[in-house]
């Protein structure tokens, strides 16, 4: 559905994107991750034909981006598009009109979008009185109003409470089940891990890695990670190295990569003689992979 090939963008001597390629098949959710300034917004702007790349191509449904592809894209930006002084219905009617929908076709599509985001009962409520979660759902409804083949969601759950976040996650899953292709940017790694079939990690304009979670987990050659709190950290690290464990610090947490599964009892015995305040075993998560890749900052 979306193919980006060898995309590069410069502002003067500053490189914003460098030879970025990615592909999103029909009906998949692609998570584009990276720190602020990595180039995510620039990629979105190029896909939407708002700025031109210096090199590379973007195709949507096999067609090079241009005026003809604008109707193929729906975007829900981080900053909401909605007019607070209009009702939900009026907002959708306005944007549907911009895409050329008229009469019964427009009415049918507005109703369909409100149903899709579960806001039919708020059709005649002013957007200004909606909760944050409802506003985000309405923003997504705007992105869907013209039946796009590709939907771009830029930080769709930033600032939402957990209940509203789950509502958005459920809606995204429903869109995928209906065959919609989605490009998702997020700083919430749990969100990407839960929703995305493919994940790309971008830093300083370079796509460092792209793949499903199984591929990304190969970055960390371990079965599990053990987290330990101890007042004898130096001794614990020395013992871990003797055992062939790789140590890492995740924030203030000391961790070791386990090349094979160990029980807590086995681990405590392996660190016999070292004072341990607490110890736990966790699976390898996207957050650990993300830190490893972005700190190394080398393409995988």
3-state secondary structure the chain: CEEEEEEEEEECCEEEEEEEEEEECCCCEEEEECCCCCCHHHHHHHHCCCCCCCEEEEEECCEECCHHHHHHEEEECCCCCCCCCCEHHHHHHHHHHHCCCCHHHHHHHHHHHHHHCCCHHHCCCEHHHCCHHHHHHHHHHHHHCCCCCEEEEECCCCCCCHHHHHHHHHHHHHHHHCCCEEEEECCCHHHHHHHCCEEEEEECCEEEEEECHHHHHCCCCCCEEEEEECCCHHHHHHHHHHCCCEEEEECCEEEEEECCCCCHHHHHHHCCCCCCCEEEEECCCHHHHHHHHHHHCCCC
Tens of pLDDT, residues 93-147 = 999 999 999 999 999 999 999 999 999 999 999 999 999 999 999 999 999 999 9
Just give the CATH number of 224-282.
Answer: 3.30.70
**Confidence band for 173, pLDDT divided at 50, 70 and 90:** very high
Tens of pLDDT, residues 205-246 = 999 999 999 999 999 999 999 999 999 999 999 999 999 999
User: Which top CATH class is 2-217?
Assistant: alpha beta
- Across the range 47-59, mean pLDDT stands at 96
Within this chain, domains 2-217 and 224-282 share the same CATH topology:
no
Sketch the domain layout of the chain as residue ranges: 2-217, 224-282
Residue length of the chain: 300
């Amino acid at each position: 559905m979306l193919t980006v090939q060898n995309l590069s963008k410069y502002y003067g001597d500053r490189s914003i994107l460098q030879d970025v390629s990615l592909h999103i098949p029909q009906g998949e959710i692609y998570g584009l991750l990276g720190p602020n300034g990595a180039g995510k917004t620039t990629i979105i702007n190029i896909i939407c034909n708002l700025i031109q790349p210096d090199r590379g191509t973007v195709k949507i449904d096999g067609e090079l981006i241009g005026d003809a592809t604008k109707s193929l894209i729906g975007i829900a930006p981080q900053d909401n598009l909605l007019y607070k002084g209009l009702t939900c219905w009026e907002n959708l009617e306005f944007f549907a009109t911009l895409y050329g929908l008229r009469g019964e076709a427009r009415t049918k599509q507005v109703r369909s979008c409100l149903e899709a985001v579960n806001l039919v009962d708020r059709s005649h409520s002013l957007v200004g009185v909606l909760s944050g979660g409802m506003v985000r759902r309405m923003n997504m409804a705007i992105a869907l109003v013209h039946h796009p083949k590709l939907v771009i969601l830029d930080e769709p759950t930033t600032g939402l409470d957990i209940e509203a976040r789950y509502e958005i996650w459920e809606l995204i899953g429903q869109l995928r089940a209906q065959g919609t292709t989605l490009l998702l940017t997020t700083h919430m790694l749990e969100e990407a891990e839960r929703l995305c079939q493919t994940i790309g990690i971008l830093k300083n304009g370079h796509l460092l890695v792209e793949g499903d979670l199984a591929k990304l987990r190969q970055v960390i050659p371990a079965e599990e990670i053990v987290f330990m709190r101890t007042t004898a950290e130096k001794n614990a690290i020395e013992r871990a190295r003797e055992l062939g464990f790789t140590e890492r610090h995740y924030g203030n947490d000391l961790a070791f990569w386990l090349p094979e599964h160990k029980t807590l009892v086995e681990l405590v015995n392996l660190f016999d003689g070292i004072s341990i305040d607490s110890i736990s075993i966790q699976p390898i998560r996207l957050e650990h992979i993300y830190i490893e890749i972005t700190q190394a900052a080398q393409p995988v």
